[in-house]
Amino acid sequence: MLIAATYCPLLRPLHITNWDMYDCNKPYGIVVLLVGVVGILGVVFMQMKIARMAAWLSVILMVLFYLLCLLKIHTSFNFIPFHSLERFLSKQIRFKWGWWLLAAGPVLALVGALTEKSKFKMSDQQYAVNNIDK
């Protein structure tokens, strides 16, 4: 979900176009993409420490990205000497629905990484016996 959220619209500046994470900051978007890929690889290869680290790192990166976007919005028009025009233009930059996906992905990854293994999991011997019977 984190990887897909990097391509979703996050900001809409001046009601003209939609920006995804790569339009806002391309190197930061690539780092987030790599953290998502490392997290997926950690799950595929059953390396829970790597997956847990990637989940925590993705949460930290998303909070940091949100704060950086807020700073970018409030400082984008500081060059204009008229403060009322500066505030008006800053209010024209809107957050879009991609933020919900961008927040949900790392939170779900963190919940999945922090939950314990199921107590009802079959042992390998039980699994082998059940598959032989079929």
Q: Where are the domains of the chain?
A: 2-133
pLDDT in tens, 43-69: 888 888 998 999 999 999 999 999 998
At residue 57, what is the residue type?
A: L
Q: Which residue bears the tokens 């989940």?
A: 55
Give the Cα separation of 4 and 36 in Å (integer): 10
pLDDT in tens, 24-45: 889 999 999 999 999 999 988 8
- The predicted pLDDT at position 16 comes to 86
Q: Global pTM?
A: 0.77
Structure tokens at 120: 């009802």
Structure tokens at 53: 């680290």
Residue 94 bridge partners (DSSP): 12
Q: Which residues contact 99 (CB under 8 A, 6 or more apart)?
A: 10, 66
